[in-house]
Structure 1
Amino acid sequence: MHVHEFALIGLILNLLLLFLLLINVADAQIIVKSLPGYPGALPFKLETGYVGVGENDSVQLFYYFIESERDVSMDPLVLWLTGGPGCSAFSGLVYEIGPLSFDDERYNGSLPSLHANPYAWTKIASIILLDLPVGTGFSYATTSQGYFSSDTKSTKDAYLFLQKWLLNHPRFMKNRLYIAGDSYAGKIVPMVVLEISNGGNEAGLKPRMSVEGYMVGNPITDSRKDENWKVPYAHRLGLISDEYYERAKSSCNGEYINPSPNNTECLFALHLIQEVGVASVFDYHQVLSRKGYQALIYSGDHDMVVPYLGTLQWIRDLNLTVEDDWRPWFVNGQIAGYTLNYQFKEDVCCFTFATVKGAGHTAPEYKPKECFAMIDRWFTNYPL
C-alpha cells in the first residue's frame, strides 16, 4: 500500500467514528445511508454495528454488512475475515470485495472521493465483514483479559458472533452460508466452518446455520509448506539463479526455514523459539472435505507471501480424486488463471483450486474483474 492510501484509510476511518459514536451498547446497529466522499445516497444497504461475545459480552466485535444488490432472499450470505492477523475488515470493504473503492489516482490530500466498485461481490451475495480478532479495527474489549487472542479464540468468537448476528437477522437464517477470507484468515476460515459443523449444527444448537462451504484466498495454511515453497517459487520466477537454487536445495534438503530443533543455541540466537497458535490447518481441510463441504481455494500467481506452489502441494496431499484436470479458465476470452477440480468421492465434496493470473497476495485487489467472474461461477456451481 502506498503512503497516500494509508492516509485515505485513516481519514475515512476517522469519519466513520462519527457514526460509531451512536453505538454504545452491545448488539446495536445502524444503517449508513451516506458517506463523506460519495456523491448522494449509497446505492446499497450498509449496516454497521457491534455484537458482544464472551463472558458478560466483554468482547465487542464490529462489523460491516452489505445486503446483496441482486436478490437478498436467494443470494448467499458470506462472512468475510481479513488476514493479518489484525487487518481491519475495512480493507476488504474498499480494496477487495466491497461495493466502494477509493478514487486514489486523483487524491490530493483533501477529502477522498469514493466510487462504486463494478466488481463488488455484494452484487451477488450479502456480505458481513468482521473486525477479528478483538483489537482489530473497531472491535474492542471491556477488560484487559478480553484482549487475549489466539487462533482458537478467534474461531470461537467468530462462531458466537454468527450465532447472535443470525438471531438478530432471522431473515438470513435460510440463506446459503459461506465463510471466506484471505491471507492469515486462511487459518481461521476452515476452523470456523468445523466449529459450526461440530459445535453447532451436529450438536443441535440454535440457530442452525446453513453453511455449505468456504473460500480462502492466498491462504496461510501450513507454516512449513507455505515457507518452504518460497525458494522454488523464486527460482521459477527467475529471482534466483539456477546455481544458487541447486546449492540451497542440496544444503537444506528442502527445509529452508527451520534449523535443527536440537540446536537450541542457534534457535535462541535467531529468536526462533516462539509460541504459535495453530501451526497447520491441513487436517481441518481433510475433515471438511470428508464432510462434503464445498471449497474454493484461489491464489494470485504472483504472490511471494504465500506462493501458490505450496498451496497446490497441500491440496494434492489431501489425496482427493481429480475431476477436472489442470486447465486454463477464461474471462472475456482471455486466460484469467488455471484451475483444478477435485472430489472426495463420487457426489461428495467439490474442491476447487484456481490461480489468478497476474494477481498478488490479495487477488481481488489486483484482478477484481477476474475474481468477480470466478466467485460468480463458483456460487452457481458453474465450472470456472
Structure 2
Amino acid sequence: MAYSAQATKKCFLLPLVNVIVIVIMIVLCCSSWQLVSARKRIDNLPGFNGPLPFSLETGYLEVNEEKGVEFFYYFVESEKNPEEDPLLLWLIGGPGCSSLSGLVYEIGPLGYDLQNYVDDLPSLYYKTDSWTQVSNVIFVDSPVGTGFSYSRTMEGFQTSDTEAAHQLLSFLYKWLEEHPKFKSNPLYIGGSSYAGMIIPVLTLEIATAKESQGAQFNLKGYLAGNPMTDIHGFDKNAKVPFFHGMALISDELYESTKQSCSGNYVNPSNIHCAKYLDAVDEVTKDVNVEQILEPQCEAFPLRKDCRNSLYALSEFWANNATVRDALGIRKGTIVDWKLCTDPPYYTYDIQSAVSYHRTITDKGYPALIYSGDHDSVAPYIGTQAWIRSLNFSIVDDWRPWYVGGQVAGFTRRYSNNLTFATVKGAGHAAPEYKPNECLAMVERWLSGAPL
C-alpha cells in the first residue's frame, strides 16, 4: 500500500473540497458534536465474528490545547507478554493516511475479507502474523486531519513535518501518563513510507527530552520501512536505475537517460534529459508503482484480484455508524472518513532526514531500515544510497536472511547499530505483502539477534 505523497492509491481530494469539508467539520465540532470518553476498551467490533482475541483500546489525546488538536489512536496490547514486551508507536505515511492502515493492512491483527465480500459491512478476520505477537503497538492518526484526528479550530489544521513530530511527542507524554504501566517497556518508534521523514525527527526529540529534561521515555531504537528520507536527493533519483535493474526499461534507454541527465533524474538540466525521462515515464506508466509485479487496477468495481479493492473496504467500514459507535468516535468530528487524504494546509519543511539518522545513531540508538524490493515509490536503491552517504563502516557484509529455510531477503549491518534489510518480493509496505517474513525480521531485531 502506498503511503507517499505521490502514491497512486492515495485518495486525493481537491483543495476546495478539503476546505469545505474542514469548514463543515469545525462548525459541527463547535456546535453539535458530543464529547465521549477519551478512552474506550473494545471487546467486539462490527464485522468480526465473536469477541476480539486480543486487547484493543481506542481514544483521543489533545496534542495542542490552544488550537484544539485531538489525535485519535488504536492501541493493541502484545498478545505474548504486554508487561515486558516493547511498546511500538507506529506511524503511517502520506502524509494523510490513517493509522487504520497499519491495523488492518500492515502490522496489525485484523484484516478485511475481500474474497467473500458482497455488500454492506465488510467482514474482519484475525491475523496470526501480526507484530502484536511480539510488541504492544499504538497506531496513531497523524498529522491532524488524518483518519479520525481533528481540530476544533481552523488554525489547528495548519501543520507541517516538524509540527507533526512535536505533536507526536506531546501525544507520547500524555499517553504514557494515562498508561503508566508501559513507561518501563522498551520504546520504539516505527512506520513506513512518508513517515520516514518524521520517525528520525521524533526519535531525536524523544532522546533529547530524555537527556535534557529527564523525561521518562525508555527509548531503545527506531525502525522504518521503505522510508521516504530525502525525496529529491535520493528517493526519486533511484527510480530510473530501479526500473532498469528490474528490466522495465531497456539498456539503451537507461544508458541514454543516465548520460544526458548525469544521474539527476528529478530536475532535468537539458532538453535531452527531459526527453528521455518522458520516454521512461511512457514505457512504465502502466506499472503498479507500489508492487511492480501486481496488476495496476482501480478499486471500483470491486475486483477480487485488485489490492485497491481491499483498501476501499476500509472506507465502507469506517463510515458505518455502528462501527463508529463501537470505536468511540466523537459525533460530528469527521463527516466523511478517508483512508488517505491530501492535507490542504500541510508544509513540507523537512527536505532531508539523513542528518537525523546520523545524529540519533551517534547517540547509540539502534536502527532497522528495511525495503520491500519490488517497490518503486521508495526504491531500495535510493535507501542504500543515503545509508552509504553516512559513511558508516560495514560490520556484517551483504548476506541472505532466512525464514523457514528460504531466503526472505538480504541484509547488511553497519556501525552505529544500523541494520539494512530487503524483503524479497515485497512492495511498498513490506509487512502487507510478506507478513510472516516481516514478523520474523522484527522479532529478531527487537531481541538483538542477527536477522
TM range (shorter): 0.7 to 0.9
Quote the residue 2:354 is aligned against.
282
1:187 matched to 2:203: no
Quote the residue 1:157 is aligned against.
167
Match of 2:260 among 226, 251, 254: 251
Deviation (angstroms), 1:259: 3.8
TM-score where L is the length of structure 2: 0.75
Deviation (angstroms), 1:254: 0.4
Quick one: distance in 2 between partners of 1:70 and 1:22?
Answer: 38
CA displacement 1:214-245 (0-9 Å, x = unmatched): 01000000112101110011001111111111
Quick one: distance in 2 between partners of 1:295 and 1:34?
Answer: 36
What is the DSSP-based 3-state SS (H/G/I as helix, E as strand, rest coil) of the residue aligned with 1:229?
helix
One-letter amino acid matched to 1:67: E
Quick one: distance in 1 between partners of 2:432 and 2:172?
Answer: 26
Quote the residue 2:247 is aligned against.
238
Quote the residue 2:291 is aligned against.
none
Quote the residue 2:64 is aligned against.
54
Deviation (angstroms), 1:111: 2.4
* Contact 1:187/1:220, CA 8 A, preserved across alignment: yes
Quote the residue 2:128 is aligned against.
118
Quote the residue 1:332 is aligned against.
404
Quote the residue 1:359 is aligned against.
426
CA displacement 1:355-382 (0-9 Å, x = unmatched): 0000000101100010011011111111
Larger RCO, structure (CA 8 Å, separation 6 or more) = 2
TM-score where L is the length of structure 1: 0.87
Q: How does 1:285-296 map to 2 (within 5 A)?
A: 285-296=357-368
Deviation (angstroms), 1:275: 6.7
Deviation (angstroms), 1:319: 1.3
Q: How does 1:79-98 map to 2 (within 5 A)?
A: 79-98=89-108
* Contact 1:218/1:307, CA 8 A, preserved across alignment: yes
Quote the residue 2:147 is aligned against.
137
CA displacement 1:160-213 (0-9 Å, x = unmatched): 000000001100000000000000000100000001111x1112254x101110
Q: How does 1:1-384 map to 2 (within 5 A)?
A: 24=35, 28-56=38-66, 58-198=68-208, 200-206=209-215, 208-223=216-231, 224-260=233-269, 276-344=348-416, 350-384=417-451
Deviation (angstroms), 1:22: 10
Quick one: distance in 2 between partners of 1:210 and 1:22?
Answer: 37
What is the DSSP-based 3-state SS (H/G/I as helix, E as strand, rest coil) of the residue aligned with 1:316?
helix
Quote the residue 1:10 is aligned against.
none
* Contact 1:179/1:215, CA 8 A, preserved across alignment: yes
* Contact 1:225/1:314, CA 8 A, preserved across alignment: yes
Quick one: distance in 2 between partners of 1:321 and 1:116?
Answer: 42
CA displacement 1:137-162 (0-9 Å, x = unmatched): 00000100000110000000000000
Deviation (angstroms), 1:315: 0.7
For structure 1, the 5+ residue unaligned runs are 7-20, 262-273, 345-349
One-letter amino acid matched to 2:236: E
For structure 2, the 5+ residue unaligned runs are 3-8, 11-31, 271-345
The number of equivalent residue pairs is 349
Residue range with higher mean Cα deviation, 315-324 or 301-310: 315-324
Larger fraction in strand? 1
* Contact 1:23/1:29, CA 8 A, preserved across alignment: no
Superposition misfits of 4+ residues, deviation over 3 angstroms? none
Quick one: distance in 2 between partners of 1:160 and 1:276?
Answer: 20
* Contact 1:61/1:131, CA 8 A, preserved across alignment: yes
* Contact 1:46/1:64, CA 8 A, preserved across alignment: yes
Label 1:53 to 1:162 Cα distance change in 2 as closer, same or farther (>3 A). Answer: same
Residue range with higher mean Cα deviation, 89-98 or 99-108: 99-108
Quick one: distance in 2 between partners of 1:140 and 1:313?
Answer: 37
* Contact 1:23/1:49, CA 8 A, preserved across alignment: no
Quick one: distance in 1 between partners of 2:241 and 2:110?
Answer: 37
Deviation (angstroms), 1:103: 1.3
Deviation (angstroms), 1:276: 3.5
One-letter amino acid matched to 1:24: L
* Contact 1:222/1:280, CA 8 A, preserved across alignment: yes
One-letter amino acid matched to 1:258: N
What is the DSSP-based 3-state SS (H/G/I as helix, E as strand, rest coil) of the residue aligned with 2:159?
coil
What is the DSSP-based 3-state SS (H/G/I as helix, E as strand, rest coil) of the residue aligned with 2:212?
coil
Q: What is the root-mean-square deviation of aligned Cα atoms in Å?
A: 2.2
